[in-house]
Structure 1
Amino acid sequence: MQSFDVQQFIDRQQLKPVHFRVLAMLTVVMFIDGFDIFVVGKIAPAIAADFGVTPAAMTLVFLFQQIGLAVGAFLVSPLFDKFGRKRSLMLCCAIFGILSVATTFATSIVALAVLRGLAGLFLAAVLPGAVALVAEFTPERRRSTFIALSIAGYSAGSAAGAAAALLIPDYGWQAAFWIGGLLPLALVPLLGLFLPESLTFRVERNASDPGIARTIALIEPDLQLTGEERFVTPDRPGKGRRTRVVDVFRDGRARTTTLVWLACLLSMGNIALLAAWLPTFFQEMAGISIQRFAIVSMIGFLGGMVGTVTIGFLMDRFPPNRLIPAYYLGIAVSLTLIGTVPFESPYFVPLLLGWSFCQSGGQAGLNMLMTRVYPTAIRSTGIGWAGGAGRIGGIIAPLLGGFALASAFSLQFTLAIIAISPVIVALLVANLRPMREEPAAGEPAVA
């Protein structure tokens, strides 16, 4: 039987409608995921007011959601490597959709916190699974760009959460969770009908799967298969091998995994802190209503979109351990200045654009970096567990926001302190050794 390397088949393809269809569907998935994760932070003051508590009491909600996201990253993400990208995405969308709808019926802050924690279990796994599928379906020369475009959907979802604040006067805070719950439920059957499964995943799980030939025909209808092909991938593991946490440290990946986990812990902790508290910081420390800040945030979202797409284009051309640190240094500078420049200043919006550009681009760069570090067999697990390390930061960091409010810190001092962590991330990523995307036989992908 003649060997048929599906990775080489994918990499030699020109971009076709099926590639853009997969990209579009996964971008929508990530949009919904970003919306559901970040919306609670955008409307936190309104939720607190409705329950008759102070904004600082929302710390419990943020804490439970981040715990759910951390646990889900470690426990649910591996399901994508066991049962497939497509099935697992459908399962996650269905469950967190139901839980988001249930949130609208919460009668206390504690009940709301528990529901957000349960939803977080399944929200956490969507991004690593979707990124893995984009990476495995896209030709190598366009891979980072396509991953960046899909992650831009995640950033767009976060920004749309700010728009949900504008619905509060007429429909209450519950409207945001109705939207966040019904959208993924409506998407599930579309994923089942139109989203193909990863070819490399199929081969590594069962090389005789008839779905392999069907997916190949979907990508290249004119290719004639004889039925005698032996489908292979460059990094197919031995039969029966189970994914274990130690695998992300094997084959020369130990140093890189350690640095990436630390970078994710600080980066995602910073994002969680600001997503949860930034509108509240401006309301409580600077007297800016969440509705006014929401309008400016939607403008700032454009910077995030450009930053995400830009880093994807650049990572197809430049070493990530030189490129990504520049974005994180930009986060530190822009955050410090945002805390200093008055909200009404003509310079405030450009600074917010710059911060959003760097934050979204930097985190997207880390996510793309992980698709290069981990092979297909452990890709969702590797990205998910790095995200789990990041979610641990997301548990701790939002507590600092509640502390800053309770301690009556100034906006300038608070944002200056927060700006320290992206500087550390820049140093961690700068110390990564250059990666070889196509290692020689028998050599590890990273050192």
Structure 2
Amino acid sequence: MSAVKQLKIQEFLETRAFGAFHWRILLLGLTVLILDGFDVVAMGFIAPAIIDDWKLGHVALGPVLTMGLFGLAIGALTGGPLADRFGRRKIVIGAVFFFGVMSLLSAWSPNVAALSVMRFLTGLGLGAAQPNAATLASEYAPRKYRSIMVTVIYCGFTLGAAGGGFLSTYLIARHGWQSVLVVGGIVPIVFAIVLAIMLPESAKFLAVRQGARDALMRVLGQIEPSVADSSTTFVTTEHAHVGQGAIRLIVSKPHTRVTLALWVGLFMNLMTVYFLNSWLPIMLKGNHFSLSEAALVAAMMQVGGTLGNIVIGWEMDRFKAHRVMMGTLFVAGGFTVILAKMSFALFGLMTMVFLLGYCTNSTNTGWTAMAASYYPTEMRATGTSWMTGIGRFGAVSGAYAGAILLSLNWSFGELFMFLTIPIGISIVAAYLGCRRSDRTMPLLRNAPSR
């Protein structure tokens, strides 16, 4: 008769070497974000073709773009609680399949009203897929690779957005704007089948669920064969919540302060990024650069952000996360002041915007990595997704703030000085709340099960 043995789930997952299993999770999550990024920005690429085809004014297409952003926010707010209740795997697969179907159906929209509804529905799936893919990856990541695994996955968004630009140019010229939505629908539907075959459920989620022993044994066996058998007792310091919803938990003590800090921090960070994403080309054109030069400068922000995503994850795995965030945001604030006060030729401006994008886009993913590391399993998907959903409203606010300030004829320098306000608030949020998360995390991880 085999002796009874114990397996500490948290310790086992956090001390494994990074192997083939982790590469599979990383590549699947990266692909989800690539598809997500392509579909999120698809409307921006096809908007001029729709305006020409339907004989619309620019303002008439506004509801389509706005409804997509609201769909992203609502999808994130609802996807997290669903993942904490039913599992990360089911929600990620379902969300990818759903936004694929909605994108495909969008191609046959007869008018702006129908397309607006379809883009809202597409946004629901997109918003639910993104943070839950990152959450699942974080729950399998070895401790010393957790932040960089999350931030590398988020590089998929910028890769999908950039690739979408090249692919859209090719497709629209040959097959019309509908073809972009068709491709953006069929590929996620097919990939949802791949996910159903290859994506495992989170072992940490299974460990706190009753009746999931066999599934947990199968998943752990993929990481290390024969690590568990019928005699193994699984031990976890975390627990399934009973009687309380995960939303209530993330705003209850001891999580209240950190939750609010994460919400405020990402809200302000996304306000900054979407202010620049939406209006930087127009700001540059008003500062005597050509449209092609403005587009080139704006592209450097995304290039810098992709590099920053990787580096900040590496830094957060090795140093205090809140200090990395504060330092990066402080440097971002410095770059905005320099851009506001000094004049640059094209190459100098490209360099400065590259560095600014490096700081602002990387801290966006840094907030996600911080949330995924802070919250216990019982509320991790909800905590990460709700932070993302709240942050999406910051993105909407940034786009609107730029429109208002430009209508008031603010100068190039005044617009960049304005950005020091949301960046400064993000720094304060990182200090007040996330410093506490660095201290509280070990206590939460070692808390006894209830």
Distance change (3 Å), C-alpha of 1:152 and 1:398: same
Q: 2:76, 2:389 within 8 Å by CA — same for their partners in 1?
A: yes
What is the CA–CA distance in structure 2 between the aligned matches of 1:49 and 1:317, rounded to whole Å? 51
Amino acid at match of 2:316: M
Q: 1:59, 1:402 within 8 Å by CA — same for their partners in 2?
A: no
- Tell me what 1:230 maps to: 233
- Tell me what 2:267 maps to: 265
SS at match of 1:252: coil
The Cα of 1:315 is off from its aligned counterpart by 0.4
Give the alignment partner of residue 207 of structure 2, picking from 197, 203, 208: 203
Distance change (3 Å), C-alpha of 1:256 and 1:125: same
1:74 matched to 2:88: no
- Tell me what 2:193 maps to: 189
Q: Flag structure 1 segments of 5+ consecutive residues without an equivalent.
A: none
Q: 1:56, 1:405 within 8 Å by CA — same for their partners in 2?
A: no
- Tell me what 1:252 maps to: 254
- Tell me what 2:312 maps to: 311
What is the CA–CA distance in structure 2 between the aligned matches of 1:25 and 1:126, rounded to whole Å? 12
- Tell me what 1:26 maps to: 29
Give the alignment partner of residue 65 of structure 2, picking from 62, 66, 91: 62
Q: Deviations over 1:337-370 (max 9, x none)?
A: 5678889611122122112211221111111110
After superposition, residues 38-437 of structure 1 pair within 5 angstroms as: 38-41=41-44, 44-164=47-167, 166-167=169-170, 168-223=172-227, 225-237=228-240, 240-279=242-281, 288-289=290-291, 294=295, 297-335=298-336, 345-404=346-405, 406=407, 409-432=410-433, 433-434=435-436, 435-436=438-439, 437=441
After superposing the two structures, state which structure 1 stretch, 278-287 or 195-204, moved more: 278-287
SS at match of 2:7: strand
SS at match of 1:438: helix
Query: Percent identity at matched positions?
Result: 26
The Cα of 1:75 is off from its aligned counterpart by 1.7
After superposing the two structures, state which structure 1 stretch, 243-252 or 11-20, moved more: 243-252
SS at match of 2:18: coil
SS at match of 2:443: coil
What is the CA–CA distance in structure 2 between the aligned matches of 1:271 and 1:94, rounded to whole Å? 28
After superposing the two structures, state which structure 1 stretch, 407-416 or 267-276, moved more: 407-416
The Cα of 1:108 is off from its aligned counterpart by 3.3
SS at match of 1:76: helix
Amino acid at match of 2:331: G
Q: 1:272, 1:398 within 8 Å by CA — same for their partners in 2?
A: yes
Distance change (3 Å), C-alpha of 1:282 and 1:148: same
Between the two proteins, the alignment pairs up a number of residues equal to 441
Q: Normalising by structure 1, what TM-score?
A: 0.88
Amino acid at match of 1:4: L
The Cα of 1:66 is off from its aligned counterpart by 2.1
What is the CA–CA distance in structure 2 between the aligned matches of 1:247 and 1:138, rounded to whole Å? 24
Distance change (3 Å), C-alpha of 1:303 and 1:395: closer
Q: Deviations over 1:210-241 (max 9, x none)?
A: 11111111110143x33022323211135x44
What is the CA–CA distance in structure 2 between the aligned matches of 1:226 and 1:103, rounded to whole Å? 49
The Cα of 1:256 is off from its aligned counterpart by 1.1
Q: Normalising by structure 2, what TM-score?
A: 0.87
The Cα of 1:14 is off from its aligned counterpart by 1.1
Distance change (3 Å), C-alpha of 1:15 and 1:60: same
Amino acid at match of 1:386: M
Distance change (3 Å), C-alpha of 1:413 and 1:164: farther
What is the CA–CA distance in structure 2 between the aligned matches of 1:74 and 1:339, rounded to whole Å? 36
Q: Deviations over 1:246-266 (max 9, x none)?
A: 200234111111111111222
SS at match of 1:236: coil
Q: Flag structure 2 segments of 5+ consecutive residues without an equivalent.
A: none
What is the CA–CA distance in structure 1 between the aligned matches of 2:285 and 2:113, rounded to whole Å? 24
What is the CA–CA distance in structure 2 between the aligned matches of 1:176 and 1:334, rounded to whole Å? 36
